[in-house]
Amino acid sequence: MLFRWIFRFLITILASGLLATLLVIFAALVTLPSLPSLDVLTDYRPKIPLRIYSADNLLIGEFGEERRDFVAIKEVPEFLKKAILAAEDDRFYQHYGVDYIGVLRAIYSNFTAGGTLQGASTITMQVARNFFLTREKTFTRKFSEALLAFKIEHSLEKDLILELYINQIYLGQRSYGFATAAQTYFGKKLPNINLAEAAMLAGLPKAPSRYNPIANLKRAKIRQQYVLRRMHALGYISNEQLAQAGKTAITLHRRVKVFAMPADYIAEMVRQVVYDRYKQEAYTRGIRVYTTIRKADQEAAYHALRKGVMEYDTRHGYRGPEAFLKLPENPGDHAALQDIMHSINNSDDLLAAVVLSATPNAVEAFLKNGETIRITGNGLKTANKYLSNDPKTAEKRIRAGALIRVKKTEKGDWQITQLPEIEAALVAIDPNDGAIRALVGGFDYNLNKFNHATQAWRQPGSSFKPFIYSAALEKGFTPATIINDAPLYLGPEQTGGKAWQPKNYDGKFSGPIRMRTALTRSKNLASVRILQAISPSYVQDYITRFGFDKKHHPAVLPMALGSGSVTPMQMAIGYATFANGGYRISPYFIERIEDEHGNTIESMRHTTIDPNSKQVIDPRNAFLMTNMMQDVVQRGTATRARALGRNDIAGKTGTTSNEFDAWFCGYQKNLVAVAWMGFDDPKSLGRKETGGRTALPIWMDYMSSALKPIPAEKLSLPKGIVVAKINPSTGLRDRFGTLNEYFFQEQLPPETDYSFEDFFFSDQMEDRAF
């Protein structure tokens, strides 16, 4: 009887097992046809982000959801492979995609717990899941994962499967693959990591957020020790290696500066171009773009702009805290304070800080990095008014909870500062081929992504005068032509709007002066009379030679004072024509585009100036304009630039009505730079905030660095230019003249006739002035 019962029980078990086997086989036959093709594995193309480089091959930008670097299996350190196997799948090289012992263990765990499947994933199964499946924990997904793992093992070699895993797996901090994670966490290339670091990386796949060493180093070390013990138990490392790795200090790499230089605006310009060409593939194909930007130029431009903006901001006083934050009940709770500060960004060296306590003599504040600082003495100087009991500043008084900005001085002390409200831009190009060498589109890209260098349409003010004067030279004027700098009234029919009575900036009039003097001293009345003489419509057509659009420059007399609209980039292109001897250049900022293998897929065409290039203005015109603008620097509105100690720079200041915009556009033979400053919502910069005071210092700081390796060059005399002595009062040639002047050969003025000298200096003199 007992035997019969045992026999029936065994038959039932066998039948059940056979039925289960048949069901599994049936399910596999149904599921197999629906499994995805392995083409994505056999032709593996990891999602590598778009990377942008400077002309010196330095990384300046990166765009893509996944931060990833591909590494071949032969380049992976052996101890890292062992660490991965120990942590994830020690029987990887023995099984065929599924570890049956692990599966049975997971099924038993699932049955007894009454929950979803846990564990049992081999490296091959993880590859199947990461490439093709979701992460949901269901029996159907797990079954498909196992079948797909068999398919992968049948099609690919073990080393290739491991290579796919090493490059595809997510390891936290936007890092995909072990090569990227090594850079992210340790600042090292993968072949350079040590055993301790390898074990820490190998512990990440289980739970990247939980074991992230940057977020929680203590927890990451616990996981690291587990991996090391597993490696030792499996015979992968010796007792000595285990002990040594356990004692090895982990130094985390905190990426303060992700890129080699601050070039966010130019990187975004490149991104837009590449996206227009390749759409979404731009962010996944591993495209590399090499720009014309040079590290030395870009860093000099960035620091010059920020320095100039901060100097302006300091002149106009402290405005009080940015905001007031609610402090935690326990001011000593650093974790809570960091949570409060989490969404507030630093701006380079201008650090966000929340005030913990404040008196007129000392301020204690907490920084985002967890540091508590104390500000005293001169560090409080700029904000004294907001630390006092002055009723005028009571609402914005610095007190506990105030959000302020602080900066370290050269001596290492802290001082209170603020984010500026004003904006600025600087662009520098090579006038010989149009290569953009530096571009800064604003004070801080993270605070204001609007690119003022290319997108800000502003009035150029007097910096536009050189194009008017260049047109006048074409119409027969000379640098010695006498212009009357006297009061002028213009009716609506002449201005295209309201009646207008232009004035010089200083409110004074100089009477009859030479055209050279008018430009050097930026005389408005003389400029308007020049435009009257040659006609606004002629100038409107003429300026298109320099790249300006007629529609932005109405043919009215206020054009003489820069009433139209330009961008800093347009001004740089226009001034480049003077710098290179009369040629129109097209700016460019991309040299070439490469694929992920380093093959050039696109090379940008650009034209270098040569004798066969087309000129848009007479080279003699460019010479005279450069020579006159050198006078602007040596004895005119830009004399501050003489501090550079060079006699080969030329340029023009620009200040619009009511000081809404400040400009300086200047150049040397091989480099043109334009600096602009103004408010996004146009308003006055303040009394006496002229181009010479506000924009010129930015230009000078940049040029002092950019021109340092370039020797000064003497302006060469083009064919067809002659030199003659003139009488500075009449502009006529004079054998007894006290000045030398340059002229087109065919436009030499007549010589002074001394037999009519008395007549010449009578009332007729006034009639000779334009």
Pairing of strands 372-376, 362-367: antiparallel
Give CA–CA dist 691/106, Å, rounded.
75
Whether residue 273 is contained in a domain is answered as: no
- What value does the mean pLDDT take over residues 439-443? 98
Q: Which of 189-203, 242-256, 756-770 has the highest mean pLDDT?
A: 189-203
- pLDDT for 30 equals 41
- pLDDT for 123 equals 85
Query: Which ranges constitute the DSSP H helices of 261-366?
Result: 264-278, 295-315, 334-341
Q: Which amino acid is at 92?
A: F
pLDDT in tens, 460-489: 999 999 999 999 999 999 999 999 999 998
pLDDT in tens, 369-404: 889 999 999 999 999 999 998 888 889 999 999 999
Give CA–CA dist 398/362, Å, rounded.
11
Confidence of residue 737 (pLDDT cuts 50, 70, 90): confident
Residue 765 reports pLDDT greater than 60: no
What pTM did the predictor assign? Answer: 0.82
Residue 2 reports pLDDT greater than 80: no
359 and 461 part of one domain: no
Nearest to 329 by CA among 397, 399, 395, 401: 401
487 and 551 part of one domain: yes
361: exposed, middle or buried (Cβ count in 10 Å: 0-12, 13-18, 19+): exposed
Question: Domains in the chain: how many in total?
Answer: 5
Q: 412 Cβ partners below 8 Å, 6+ apart?
A: none
- pLDDT for 391 equals 84
627 and 735 part of one domain: no
Whether residue 174 is contained in a domain is answered as: yes
Give the lowest-confidence range in 134-143, 185-194, 702-711, 733-742.
134-143
545 and 688 part of one domain: yes
Residues paired with 741 in a beta bridge: 724
Nearest to 11 by CA among 34, 19, 407, 570: 19
DSSP string, 592-623: EEE-TTS-EEEE-------TTSPBSS-HHHHH
Mean pLDDT, the chain, rounded, equals: 87
Are the C-beta atoms of residues 423 and 694 closer than 8 Å to each other? Answer: no
Are the C-beta atoms of residues 462 and 654 closer than 8 Å to each other? Answer: yes
Give CA–CA dist 361/2, Å, rounded.
97
Whether residue 714 is contained in a domain is answered as: no
The CA-atom distances, in angstroms, between 540 and each of 243, 460, 574, 626 are 80, 15, 14, 21
- Decide if 462 is catalytic: yes
Last residue of a domain, one of 417, 451, 482: 417
Last residue of a domain, one of 216, 247, 278: 247
Residue among 88, 163, 197, 423 flagged as catalytic: 88
E-assigned strand segments in 389-547: 402-408, 414-417, 423-429, 436-440, 482-485, 511-514
Give CA–CA dist 399/84, Å, rounded.
53
664 and 729 part of one domain: no
Confidence of residue 11 (pLDDT cuts 50, 70, 90): low
360 and 437 part of one domain: no
DSSP string, 417-454: E---S-EEEEEEE-TTT-BEEEEE-SS-TTT----HHH
What is the percent of the chain where pLDDT is above 90? 66
Q: Domain holding 334: CATH number?
A: 2.40.50.140
- What value does the mean pLDDT take over residues 641-670? 96
pLDDT in tens, 286-309: 999 999 999 999 999 999 999 999
- What value does the mean pLDDT take over residues 199-219? 90
413 and 432 part of one domain: no
Residues paired with 357 in a beta bridge: 364
* Crossing angle of the two packed helices 239-247 and 195-202, in degrees rounded to 10: 80
Whether residue 547 is contained in a domain is answered as: yes
Are the C-beta atoms of residues 93 and 211 closer than 8 Å to each other? Answer: no
Confidence of residue 151 (pLDDT cuts 50, 70, 90): confident
- pLDDT for 347 equals 95
Q: 79 Cβ partners below 8 Å, 6+ apart?
A: 195, 198, 231, 236, 237
Q: Cα–chain-centroid distance for residue 682?
A: 24
88 and 130 part of one domain: yes
pLDDT in tens, 229-242: 999 999 999 999 99
Last residue of a domain, one of 183, 214, 247: 247
Residue 17 reports pLDDT greater than 60: no
> Which domain covers residue 334, as residue numbers?
319-417
386 and 527 part of one domain: no
Confidence of residue 492 (pLDDT cuts 50, 70, 90): confident
Are the C-beta atoms of residues 504 and 524 closer than 8 Å to each other? Answer: yes
515 and 448 part of one domain: yes
Stated as kind and residue range, the H or E segment containing 39 is helix 39-42
- pLDDT for 142 equals 58
Residue among 54, 121, 462, 563 flagged as catalytic: 462
What is the percent of the chain where pLDDT is above 70? 86
- pLDDT for 701 equals 98
Task: Enter the DSSP assignment of 561.
Answer: G
Q: Domain holding 574: CATH number?
A: 3.40.710.10
- What value does the mean pLDDT take over residues 521-547? 97
> Residue 462: phi, psi to the nearest 5?
-70, -15
Residue 138 reports pLDDT greater than 80: no
- pLDDT for 458 equals 98
Whether residue 302 is contained in a domain is answered as: no
Residue 136 reports pLDDT greater than 70: no
Whether residue 274 is contained in a domain is answered as: no
Confidence of residue 21 (pLDDT cuts 50, 70, 90): very low
Radius of gyration of the chain (CA): 36
- pLDDT for 549 equals 96
- Decide if 238 is catalytic: no
Whether residue 255 is contained in a domain is answered as: no
- pLDDT for 25 equals 47
437 and 576 part of one domain: yes
- pLDDT for 525 equals 95
- pLDDT for 767 equals 44
Number of Cβ within a 10 Å radius of residue 280: 8
160 and 73 part of one domain: yes
- What value does the mean pLDDT take over residues 322-336? 87
More confident residue, 658 or 38: 658
Stated as kind and residue range, the H or E segment containing 723 is strand 721-726
Cα dihedral sign for 482, 487, 493, 494? Answer: positive
